[in-house]
Amino acid sequence: MAKRDILTNEMIRSAIAKVVTKSFTTIELIEILEDIEPIIISELKSKILRNWRAEIGKAISRFEDETNKIKKKLPTSKKQARWEKKN
């Protein structure tokens, strides 16, 4: 099991529901996750000292693939991914 699997699709779905606008960045979603899932994020930070945000980004990508509820707005070559909610 990958370390990012600690974040379930339901946790990510809850965070996305708290986003007010249709589009958002990975960093914005991470901030929301830190607020609503502090224990899980703390556990993730303790397991991955340097690139824990990247692991959350991978979990968001997994959520996109598995649920088709969001889509990526910018190519992955950009530093910060932007996402858009699908209707």
What's the CATH code of the domain at 53? 1.10.10
Could you give the number of structural domains in the chain? 1
Residue keyed to tokens 């779905």: 13
* Domain extent at residue 69: 3-85
Q: Given this model, what pLDDT does residue 73 score?
A: 85
Could you read off the pLDDT tens digit of each residue along the chain, which spans 87 residues? 455 578 999 999 999 999 999 999 999 999 999 999 999 999 999 988 888 998 999 999 999 999 999 998 866 565 678 899 987
Q: From residue 76, how far is each of 12, 17, 22, 34, 73 by CA, in Å? A: 19, 23, 19, 23, 9
